[in-house]
Structure 1
């Protein structure tokens, strides 16, 4: 079983339109409402592939009730931590060329008692799990150390832990020695405070993180695919596909990696296949095994001189 923890879940509404014009009035095309949050999305993809997963999430207000209702048809088991504030709602605008604009609410502040309940429920389930995935942004006023504390709790239960976070939350989590982190290129660049122009730059940073105690590093590179750096070696995976929405692509990448054993070139191939499939789906739909095509993914040794098209200033 894989347990996911999403401290700041959401209702995700995605609207398609021809072109976004600032200050204009737009006629929307298709619209989708999906359960949202990084850990939630990982659980959705795992369950769709037949892998047991439980999603732990704080829920509040009518929005929290609706979030649980949306997960029910996808047969994702949910452990709700009731909170006083309403679950947030996010809006994503997707233009016809695939350009994506996201408007994310911060999420209501959780009390010390609510945070304690979230950690406690995670610890209770961690002992029964193969992996605990703690993922996503933190609610307003939440301590940056939360992901790190969840890592410590899960590791104390003897469970492997993956972290998908950004900014100070990722920095603190890395100090807790997670077995896996899954930043995108921008998040990794922010973590070290410098540009990462070449694939070799990303490899150097990942190896440094491993020396500091992180187990493996899986980096989403956008159009440049993904990079895996682990004890056994480093590999670069690339795929091709039509971009409909980038929402949830990183979450699908992580799910594909876990489904294929979470190590080595084969797992990287499945990760890229799932990430590629996700960008071709509307809204924040998660891919199923039928959507992913691992045979179309190219996995190679790392060309450290390769320039990255998505390098972050």
Structure 2
């Protein structure tokens, strides 16, 4: 009798343990997405426009018990990788183009209130008087345009272990016709120095390294890359301490900087179309809208 009782207790304990373990993953049945992720949205660097928009999401959707965690692009993707491999729930700030959409099966949460705005473009912005001081560079930057798919090739190569400059150089070699259209009939300006500012987003690392490779390899410039946050990037173009950037997300993400420094830079227009911003989750999570985050 005692043996049977002991066996029953052991079996009950194992069942309870299995149930508790099952409730710890993305299919937790406690009814609250928030409790599964500690009411945290994993963000990036605090100066990013995406972070400002996400903070506005918390207000507009009345997500009073939620916290936006500041960090960096690298920290965000590391957290996503860890959660994804364990099939655990996670909510991150995301954008397209980004290599994580190729590596993981992800989805954007719908944004019925339109806080994140419509799809954006990435623009090329240069300091005033660059056309006069470095005409070939100015012309090349004005012609520079590529697709999210082309950018993804460089991003993926970097994630797979190539150095950014190597991945960019390989892409330039493999896309000679397109690159030649950016520099056609432009004279070399050997040894002339240029400073390219960029934020440490994977997309901007890819594009800035490609532009650097073309300016140096095709037009003879000596290019310095300046990795900064969004605010200093715009300030550098405005005060002339940087010459150009190919990392301006408009019209929404960098709107504040665009307005703040209006008249102190030249916008050469979009170099990439088809961007998107929002809250991103693994597709295995049973959630489809930002509205679902609100505790019922």
Give the alignment's TM-score, normalised by structure 2. Answer: 0.29
Q: Which has the higher strand share?
A: 1
Q: Of the two structures, which has the highest relative contact order with CA contacts closer than 8 Å and spacing of 6 or more?
A: 2
Q: Which has the higher helix share?
A: 2
